[in-house]
Structure 1
């Protein structure tokens, strides 16, 4: 046997050497050169020339060898949406209109879409450049800070308005007692006590020469600021996307292909051929003919070797098939439960095939949402817009509609539908069904959760209502941990991968509904981690996952640790208006906890200073969060242990508050809000 293996290795070495001489390690793949890199992939849109390394959304294809992931000809993050007469570039969840692309200077000029068509524009979001993107802010960019709806009148401790600054005096900014300011960083008054009276603060990039000489000039505050916002700002990109392999590809006349995760796939060469590294188009015909003849001679040998390896691989796979991991061709790892196979794992209340998932027609959901009326839009759901709808049977629902049917988004759609169809837990959003894969559009249908997200109540537009008392926040932490414990305990386990306060919804009674499973991944039972490109939201992504590309269930624990800090601090996970070393809330929390400066982190309005019992519980939650935020994943507790600790703290809350009778304490979960039958009161299945 060892002699046979020796000969096989020699044969393979010969084949590899011949391939290197003749063909330069070709992948053997072909691609549609006209639609991915040719005439149909370039266009003039809104007066902007769109060509490599930019690419149009409709030029995104699935290469044969990489069918599991949508790929494109160009650099990551340079996808252009041709929206009528405008070329649009999406950064995070926000749209920016492209006014010019300088292919020589490697810069692109953008204007926020919220500015266009408005005589008194406002921008209520920060610029989010995905980590996988090739784009970076240029040195020509300055910043303006929007301080929205600041209230210096209400509340006994409200500080006075800083006298040097003048409010914006146009449009809706003049309505009501709340003031809004737009200032360059140099003109922001010192101290942050006054800015805490503002609903939100956002940083807006503009060209450096557009910053005002005098931010209190009446012409500036009455609408003069509009022109700098319309001029927009610039982003730059590196040649070859900063990739050595892409550089070699372009040096040999090829164009680089990447997938949606920012991974280099190969070099797209002339005549529809694809190479693993660089194109070999300069080889003469004799070399090509020799390569073809040599390749043909080796083909028989390779086929024989492949047959042997295939038989051995089949034998190995038969042994390995005892793993209960349910596979799918997509990167998200979607279960087979959509087909209702007999092998699907049991859940709390029966097998997957017993679950009821409805198929809706496009026309039915179009009617339910009033033709996807903008007035019914609830927000963004990761890779689609969510609308409120009313079904014919009277159910009020949330309908998620894909932005467009690119391969990556379709993959996430199928992933979320399949995962949700097999889950039943009172703290997970109820999935009602979806449209058929043959439908005009791909739509997901969920129960409607009416009370917004936890983020809305902590630091969003609902934060001024101060509806989330400390007992409520503790209950939210417990119920969210219960949902994650359930996901990690089922077989095969599920890692959510995008745990954050905007994905934790609240129903009318402020009970938790964890949502948005587009990035979730089924996890093998017999491994400690899965290697995959990092995905998630900045500020919540496990640093070990980001550095080592190794996803584990402790990645969710890290993200949940950030959620715990948000609950005790009322601060967002990322805020570029904070000090440099405190922009990331996780870093800020670890620093304050280690220095015993918890009073500088927590929301003092929750009773931290006035109620010793609340202070004790908030301190315990802070200590638990610090354990979840350990850099080393093995040092973090499993989510079940986190849940146990939180329940212990909640029991303390009940005892400290005289048996739970004090106003504001959350009652036990009501069975009236559960949409399915339950076998027991346990929130997680027994292992």
Structure 2
């Protein structure tokens, strides 16, 4: 046996070998998550994991709810029961609460009154930027401030927490010049109107901010007089509807609906390559925000991404008007195809867009009457060409369908967002067919129950192409993230992933070709000594170096979890 070996640790992403990253589980039992043992509604409000009422039914850290049955119709509250919940959306990550208005005594001698907005219970919630702040009063200004971190420039500059102005508006009540009485609003009677700045003002918030807020009222009254005894402040997602009698304390709403955003975790760094511990469903991904991250179902899927099996395929064909398909609709996991019916052609995504083919062929029928012999000859000559063209078109459409089904668009997005991932990672099926002589059996260099390994020539480089036989849905969804991670692995003792092909039912992986077989093949030989002890020690050292790199030096730590002799390859 040769005395010089380079050890290569094999990494894999599909069913043929073990997944790289260990599964992460939350503390709540799957059976309870699915709602079998947990309350999933209170009054007319429905909810699901990560929210829950009973112990063991919610994620923790602020996702516990209280269902109060002392009302005629039960009411749902956040946490221990201080903030009423009107609605919860798990797919979109928001909660609608009944937000009580704040009352300020404007007759106090102080110019500025401060009040903390206490409608949050802490934890995962923040005030949504889609809300508005409204002030009902006279000659006063309301400021909404939040304590946010501010970075100081220069070396050694530390972050500081300051109170920043988020939104502000001013309400005035000018004097009528004829009778010198205050004007509370433009208009008369009890009719309602939007806040105009007279007797009432309103401003957009437009910024998602954390849960520490201060509301300030600046009293702009002249000394010695007060028009309205109180100023009322509301935070609401709706336009405030103002009436004149509100200036006298009549018909003022006690509370208005306000929107809270919530995040499954406050640490956005846990969301890497659109994968995160709490995104447990297949066909789900995470999205990082400044205040944390949320999980969402992938395109073409809907449901709850926080439980296993929670994201399910959307039947676009059952909602043709929503997805604009007026022809033959073919649904497949994660998407759909829209085609014109047989005998028609055109644009099936427009109503009336598919027209009978005879409209286009009327001239052909006239021509057949004049010179049928010539036309028939042309058809006979062109039929094989047309058949071949249709076959190529069908194969191209099938490859595109598999590409979408295997989340090729997601990989393209990851490549565009990460300069370390080469655009050449995505290979087409015709390129690999040419590299392997259409996957000729003479090119097979390995295989087993899970798939076949082919030897090919790609860009004048010898490569190994893994063609798996089987795969499960969960592995398909992990595949793209693993490819993004593996493509950045660069170590002399780790086999290099060159690219992948997503245009087949099961994706193909392309690795550099290691020519001297696996370590177990060198152990089990008929010769008296398969490997010297010196070679064995050096192989062990190089395996250790590869694992050290994967665990500590790679951009994203990788855990192989399947180190054995058949997964250690030797080159020449």
TM more than 0.5 = no
Higher strand share: 2
TM-score normalised to the size of structure 2?
A: 0.32
Higher alpha-carbon Rg = 2
